[in-house]
Structure 1
């Protein structure tokens, strides 16, 4: 999937259908000159239904269609015939989609289960026909209920990527390179910051035909929790990852400081992110000789309270050990 095809935020205007009118009709047939009321009910207006589709990975299919209108219910007719219900409109979304009210920004629903359906705009009820209103004192009512009008809503769909492992790091830390090496994903790679502007997903093949999903999130900068850089646009994708892999290059001036900054941005955005399993990968370790690596290990053992591993995506060093550690963390 190319970067331009990854859409994770759309605004929609949805309108449900009106209910059909109840019928005002008096029964008439041969030899029955004055039959009773037999007007049928109006049909229900169509719903707008959000439906989970596991075959979708993005909201791109909604990029150019922002208005959805359901069908109106048919009117009732004679012989107590109920009008047909209006056509329901289904809006398919990928798993991990959050539905918000555009005006209040409150979360209406989170779609996380395959095949899940949620009525976001209910169709209007059909009106009752005049046969409902027959009584001992009014045996020929000449009125019926009109149908209830449908509703209109402005909703926002946000996609939070569903992945097992989320890659966290500063711009140009080598996240996209790692993803391209251990999965079949083809993210854009270049030697400048913010090469990645949208999340990339890749399936990591493990031993005995097992797999897990890894997400490359655009680089975090200091102040991202307040919206700097690309801010909240990508931090929300980390919320659904069960394990966070912090990628810090071996040539960083201070590895511990970089890790602390990244952790602080996650904490300020959502403190619950700190409850996730964490692993640090020191990337670009092919630049270190054995002596430098040993010195760095001694330093990191004193500074870090979480496990770390040395890797090189280009030289393909430590990648199998990285997969083993991640698989163990995911399945503990």
Structure 2
């Protein structure tokens, strides 16, 4: 197993990583870091969420910054406010012991733009942004990206499934051909290939963290045979047995998430729903409660779960299996983060076994039957 020092990371960063309990590189870090430190290149990194991507691109980006120049040299685009905040926080922690200061600013919708414009008047080396807010700030000339050397697209597939195609096209169109583009994604749908066609160099480096598994191998997959009427009772029994564990329950619709959340609350569980119509303030409040463990379970739709990054989630429950394969990958990837193990449990009603077999085949995973 390689060490960060062998990958080429400097001592000051290694000291900060140690403090964060990051001692050995993950697979994606091991493969990506030497490539990005060693050459100026475009890169596609295929890796599950929770595999240490932020350090994989963040450490080489930090190494490339010239702190003596007060200009934006790196740009990181991420799908949600939560993910932007999390990347910003992590980069800040990585730089604790370095000589000179590298300033990282996070900008996203749902907060007053005037406040962010003020923050950007300070020296800034790296901007982490959601797509729409970045375009807004560039158009207002509140941020100058003409000296950017590296553009990173994180969770590219999630950005596309959230409808950010046009924004990403606009951002890529700012490219003055001197950017290196590093794209990270859990899956590689056709839309991504179309998006980057012509914008990345022909000799782009492609790295896949888990060559055979598109789903994190620390997750075990289970199904429970039930029927529509009994689903609620099954979930109540599962949660009652797992009082000390936290998890996310996925519903296909907003109405379904609200209904299930109310039913579980009425049964005495510490549960909240996360859904698309929530104001950012409410969403932040729910996420804070979940992170500080005063909530045991989140009930969420696929879109609302974007950017949820909480370690130590023991399980993910599928109230219904999703329609898209990619969604199963994203859902189950909320558990088993940072090297931990986790369970993905699907409630199956008569006639749905075919779906389980399709998922097994397409994703190279094995489902076991579970009884409650």
TM-score by length of 2: 0.26
Decide which structure has greater strand share: 1
TM-score by length of 1: 0.28
Decide which structure has greater helix share: 2
Q: Computing the radius of gyration over CA atoms, which structure comes out larger, 1 or 2?
A: 1
Q: Which has the higher contact order (CA 8 A, sep 6+)?
A: 2
